[in-house]
Structure 1
């Protein structure tokens, strides 16, 4: 079996096609989409300039009102958010997506917009899914912490095992933090939350997920602090 670094690189490397980032600036209603998000909507990278009108035009008719209301609330409150809804791409294919966003601040700490990521959680039989499942099986025996973090994400966001893994994998790649280290930090963050029978608002988990890399420590640093 490959060494830890090799496995981590295999899992965190590459460019997941089902997860991509976005930015939205409040002042001029300016959007930015990663190549993955452009493809998710059916566009080749560089061929479209996203606008609020375009973003909303791709929402499923049954989800349009809720998404538009969420966007209005973000403009007004500048809060973190997460939403699960459907979009329709240029080929009229429906995608089930989760969108999670956090505050986007300028150099002075002023909130100027929101940024985050799309996760395509549409059930599919593509070969790539089989490869992801194989990777999950390979690390399951010595990556219990990743499995626990996936379980938490599945519970909080009501997504599948595979989609939870895609989410962790993408955050690992984007933040350059090892998958297991990131998962361990998420579990530590979740464990520190104080609540009784009802879970905290989902926005609390959104913020922890988007900022876990800022608190995560490399393995060698953890070992030193524990000694």
Structure 2
């Protein structure tokens, strides 16, 4: 049984609702997984219906992604690497969910790595199409009126290659999970990114060309 609180409060094992972002933890010593109700729903389960294990996680991976996933688990157990990945999940109804998993290392009081935790981001097109229907007025007002939020969204879109809706899902998830206002979170991300991320000269030159040569958006 996981000890995560549900981040949406909904009971939707099909993954068709608001289950786009969910938490997980993995403990190295016991090879123990924990997942939130949202991640359970992404796999097709109701809260508490199953206990996640490595074998279950492998079973739900797309056949073409299983070898790579097994290698990532081995890397976590051997080198205590965080579990960050892009792969596909096959839920209990046989539907494929492309996901991005973003995580960092959990350390004990002595600084030793003991696990990894983070979140799943569901990239399924059908979910993306229903985002606007489910976002409430407060969320929409944040998106349209806060310049810092838009800038932070742009960073997430560029770094992780996700849509604007998905980027805001991540900001909102962090906001709810850590009880911090979305605007304050976005400003912290912008501050830390400016302080710690460096753009290489090569990347800057490539962007110079894009900036100077761009004329109109490509036609689809």
Q: TM-score scaled to structure 2, two decimals?
A: 0.77
Q: Go from structure 1 to structure 2 and tell me whether the alpha carbon gap of 1:164 and 1:198 turns closer, same or farther (over 3 Å shift).
A: farther
Matched with 1:143 is: 146
Q: Equivalent residues in 2 for 1:55-134 (5 A)?
A: 55-124=57-126, 127-132=130-135
List structure 1 runs of 4+ shifted beyond 3 angstroms.
Answer: 13-16, 125-129, 133-137
Structure 1 residues without counterparts, runs of 5 or longer: 1-12, 200-227
1:156 to 159, 162, 169: 159
Aligned with 2:124: secondary structure?
coil
CA distance in 1, matches of 2:138, 2:63: 36
CA distance in 2, matches of 1:110, 1:101: 17
1:83 touches 1:99 (CA, 8 Å); kept in 2?
yes
Q: Go from structure 1 to structure 2 and tell me whether the alpha carbon gap of 1:80 and 1:177 turns closer, same or farther (over 3 Å shift).
A: same
Q: Deviations over 1:76-116 (max 9, x none)?
A: 22233521111000111111111111111233332111111
1:40 touches 1:89 (CA, 8 Å); kept in 2?
yes
Q: Deviations over 1:97-153 (max 9, x none)?
A: 111111112333321111111111211266454333966653344201111111110
CA distance in 1, matches of 2:46, 2:83: 27
Aligned with 1:85: secondary structure?
strand
CA distance in 1, matches of 2:48, 2:84: 26
CA distance in 2, matches of 1:110, 1:187: 29
Query: Which of 110-119 and 167-176 deviates more?
Result: 110-119
1:24 touches 1:113 (CA, 8 Å); kept in 2?
yes
Q: Go from structure 1 to structure 2 and tell me whether the alpha carbon gap of 1:154 and 1:166 turns closer, same or farther (over 3 Å shift).
A: same
Q: Go from structure 1 to structure 2 and tell me whether the alpha carbon gap of 1:21 and 1:140 turns closer, same or farther (over 3 Å shift).
A: closer
Query: Which of 183-192 and 128-137 deviates more?
Result: 128-137
1:132 touches 1:162 (CA, 8 Å); kept in 2?
no
Aligned with 2:92: secondary structure?
coil
Matched with 1:202 is: none
Q: Equivalent residues in 2 for 1:164-183 (5 A)?
A: 164-183=167-186
Task: Confirm or deny that 1:196 pairs with 2:200.
Answer: yes
**Cα drift, residue 40 of structure 1:** 0.8
Aligned with 1:114: secondary structure?
strand
CA distance in 2, matches of 1:102, 1:76: 16
Aligned pairs, number: 187
C-alpha RMSD of matched pairs (Å): 2.2
Structure 2 residues without counterparts, runs of 5 or longer: 1-6, 10-17, 204-220
Q: Go from structure 1 to structure 2 and tell me whether the alpha carbon gap of 1:82 and 1:198 turns closer, same or farther (over 3 Å shift).
A: farther
Task: Confirm or deny that 1:22 pairs with 2:5.
Answer: no
Q: Go from structure 1 to structure 2 and tell me whether the alpha carbon gap of 1:146 and 1:198 turns closer, same or farther (over 3 Å shift).
A: farther
Q: Deviations over 1:144-186 (max 9, x none)?
A: 1111111110110011111101011000110111101111111
